[in-house]
């Protein structure tokens, strides 16, 4: 490193270093910036034992993240369960299947709590009073909640057609919502213009390089929870395409630090058929992304012009992985399959991941004996509208034993057989 910094921004293309400031593009060549670290120094400071002795949240990886001195690590985001998924495994014919369950990430039940936790440390460090974002829903919830705790004002930009639970789950924290008549790509363009004009900290615009690093913690945790081993395959839902590239970066850093054995993990990307610019690129063997107009129930993944699409496609193709997409009915089926087999209620994005994983097993791209992790990134209670027509309304019965016995006769035949003799 040219300077004395533990980390700083570096251009992904021309490699120019930019110190630490709220910018996301190289002022020379306009390529995106990412955070580069002084690994010689960090390698001497951190060890697996040190990490293992710390609290079970994402701050346990503090040396590997772009955190300012004196950051406030009091919000215990991250370190979500890694669940062995034996029953789902039976269905898709896998003998070693795991779920990384960010449906229960603290505080707002999606993996976006991770990126916001990191971004807000820098927002405070740079002295922003107002934090903001363009969001497909989960980011809105995470920014609103964590800004409230940090004592920052929040102004959140969303497409007008977002799920009601995600709108309410933003407003409840006292955040100002701005609903935009347009899709996410319109919202995002507007936010870039606002960020040029107002001195606000947009977590996924001018703070984007720092924000994106928060996603690495998904990768660190998976490796640590597997006993400091890497899986053979990982299936990751893609919106802007950042998460998948950052899990790749996390695995590579752990290999370089000597924390895990070197292994070529295959990366599989999952998108909705109605918004699949990255999957389409991968399937045609290209990194170049052709923007789409989103039309899918998986609104949290509905980014038609993904900021990191190029790098996501490159990561997938370079790893020997693949990308697939799932239609709306397949997404709903994925959600119910996961709930019925593993007791995990995920949102539409998780339905995409499960449905895509299923296809990858059928296609033989993922094999039964390989250890595979599915990234479940959000909670089903936020997208109940997707299941609105799925279940029959259960008619009430009188509070009488006879009425119940009749109910049992006529409607609950499977359980009646199972319950016989128990009395």
Ligand X SMILES: *Cc1c(COP(=O)(O)O)cnc(C)c1O
Helix or strand run (H / E) with residue 179: strand 176-180
Distance CA 181, CA 417 (A): 54
Q: Is residue 357 within the footprint of Zn ion (CB under 5 A)? A: no
CB of 27 to Zn ion, least distance (A): 8
Binding-residue pattern over the window 30 to 49 for Zn ion, x denoting contact by CB under 5 A = -x------------------
- Which of these ranges, 12-20, 206-214, 238-246, 294-302, lies near Zn ion under the rule CB under 5 A? 12-20
- How far apart are CB 407 and ligand X at their closest, in Å? 38
Minimum CB separation of residue 50 from ligand X in Å reads 28
Smallest separation (angstroms) from ligand X to the CB of 353? 8
33/303 with CB nearer Zn ion: 33
Q: Which does 26 bind (CB under 5 to 8 A by kind): Zn ion, ligand X, none?
A: Zn ion
Shortest spacing between CB 70 and ligand X, in angstroms? 28
Residues that bind ligand X (CB under 6 A): 110, 112, 138, 237-243, 300-301, 347, 349, 377-378
Q: Is there binding between residue 326 and Zn ion (CB under 5 A)?
A: no
Helices (H) and strands (E) in the chain, counts: 16, 13
**Tokens found for residue 18:** 């930019």
Nearest to 139 by CA among 215, 192, 85: 215
Candidates 8, 9, 22, 26; binder of Zn ion (CB under 5 A) is 26
Do residues 124 and 50 make contact, with C-beta atoms less than 8 angstroms apart? Answer: no
Q: Give the nearest distance from C-beta 31 to Zn ion in angstroms.
A: 5
Q: Nearest to residue 64, comparing CAs of 47, 52, 49, 81?
A: 47
Would you say the C-alpha torsion 216, 191, 385, 308 has a positive or negative sign? negative
Binding mask 235-274 for Zn ion (x = CB under 5 A): ----------------------------------------
Minimum CB separation of residue 270 from ligand X in Å reads 9
Query: What does the angle CA 410 – CA 413 – CA 419 come to, to the nearest 5 degrees?
Result: 125
Residue 390: Cβ within 10 Å count: 11
Our finding on whether 28 is near Zn ion (CB under 5 A) is yes
The distance of closest approach from Cβ of residue 315 to Zn ion in the complex, given in angstroms and rounded to an integer, is: 20
User: Closer CB to ligand X, residue 96 or residue 133?
Assistant: 133
Torsion of CA 165, 166, 171, 174, to 10 degrees: 120
Residue 14 interface partner, choices Zn ion, ligand X, none, CB cut-off 5-8 Å depending on type: Zn ion
Which option in Zn ion, ligand X, none does residue 66 bind, with CB closer than 5 to 8 A by kind? Answer: none
Binders of Zn ion: how many residues, by CB under 5 A?
Answer: 8
Cα dihedral sign, 358-364-370-372: negative
- At 188 the three-state DSSP class reads helix
The piece of 26-34, 45-53, 133-141, 213-221 that touches Zn ion (CB under 5 A) is 26-34
Residue 397 engages Zn ion in binding (rule: CB under 5 A): no
Of positions 14, 86, 397, 403, contacts Zn ion by CB under 5 A: 14
Q: Which of 201, 269 has the CB closer to ligand X?
A: 269
Q: Which is nearer to ligand X, 235 or 254 (CB)?
A: 235
* Residue 107, preceding peptide bond in cis (omega within 30° of 0): yes
Q: Pick from 223, 229, 240, 222: which is nearest to 115 by CA?
A: 240
Choose the contact partner of 233 out of ligand X, Zn ion, none; CB within 5 to 8 A by kind. none
Alpha helices in 55-155 (DSSP H): 86-92, 112-125, 138-150
Residue 11 partner contact from Zn ion, ligand X, none using kind-dependent CB cut-offs of 5 to 8 Å: Zn ion
* Helix residue ranges, H only, 130-236: 138-150, 164-171, 184-197, 208-213, 216-225
Considering only residues 8, 10, 11, 208, which one is a binding residue for Zn ion as defined by CB under 5 A? 11
Nearer to Zn ion, 24 or 134 (CB): 24
Q: Select the binding partner of residue 240 from ligand X, Zn ion, none (C-beta < 5 to 8 A, by kind).
A: ligand X
Binding of residue 55 to Zn ion (CB under 5 A) = no
Touching Zn ion, residues 270-299 (CB under 5 A): none
| Cα 335 from chain centre | 16
Q: In what order do the strands lie in the sheet with 322-326?
A: 82-84, 97-101, 372-376, 233-237, 266-272, 322-326
d(CA 390, CA 39): 51
């Amino acid at each position: 490193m040219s300077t004395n910094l533990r980390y700083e921004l570096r251009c992904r293309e021309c490699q120019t270093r930019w110190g630490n400031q709220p910018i996301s593009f190289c002022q020379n060549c306009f390529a995106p910036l990412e955070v580069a670290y002084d690994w010689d120094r960090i390698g001497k400071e951190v060890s697996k034992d040190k990490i293992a002795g710390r609290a079970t949240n994402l701050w346990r990886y503090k040396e590997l993240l772009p955190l300012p001195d004196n950051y406030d690590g009091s919000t215990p985001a991250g370190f979500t369960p890694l669940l062995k998924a034996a029953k789902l495994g039976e269905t898709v014919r896998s003998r070693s299947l795991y779920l990384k369950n960010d449906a229960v990430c603290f505080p707002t039940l999606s993996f976006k709590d991770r990126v916001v936790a990191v971004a807000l440390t820098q927002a405070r460090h740079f002295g922003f009073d107002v934090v903001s974002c363009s969001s497909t829903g989960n980011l809105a919830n995470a920014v609103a909640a964590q800004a409230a705790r940090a004592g920052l004002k929040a102004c959140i930009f969303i497409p007008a057609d977002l799920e009601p639970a995600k709108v309410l789950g933003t407003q409840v924290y006292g955040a100002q919502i701005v609903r935009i008549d347009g899709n996410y790509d319109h919202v995002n363009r507007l936010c870039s213009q606002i960020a040029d004009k107002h001195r606000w900290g947009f977590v996924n615009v001018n703070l984007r390089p720092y924000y994106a690093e928060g996603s690495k913690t998904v990768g660190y945790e998976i490796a640590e929870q597997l006993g400091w081993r890497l899986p053979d395959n990982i299936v990751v839902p893609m919106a802007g395409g950042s998460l998948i590239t950052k899990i790749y970066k996390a695995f590579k850093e752990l290999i370089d630090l000597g924390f895990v054995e070197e292994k070529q993990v295959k990366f599989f990307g999952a998108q909705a058929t109605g918004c699949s610019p990255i999957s389409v690129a991968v399937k045609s063997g290209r990194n170049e992304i052709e923007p789409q107009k989103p039309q899918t129930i998986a609104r949290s993944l509905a980014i038609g012009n993904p900021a990191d699409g190029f790098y996501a496609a490159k990561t997938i193709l370079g790893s020997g992985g693949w990308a697939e997409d799932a239609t709306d009915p397949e997404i709903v089926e994925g959600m119910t399959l996961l709930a019925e087999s593993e007791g995990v209620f995920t949102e539409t994005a998780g339905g995409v991941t499960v449905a895509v994983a299923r296809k990858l097993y059928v296609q033989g791209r993922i094999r039964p004996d390989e250890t595979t992790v599915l990234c479940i990134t959000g909670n089903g209670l936020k997208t109940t509208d997707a299941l609105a027509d799925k279940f029959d309304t259960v008619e009430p019965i009188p509070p009488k034993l006879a009425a119940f016995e009749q109910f049992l006769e006529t409607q609950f035949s499977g359980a009646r057989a199972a319950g016989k003799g128990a009395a």
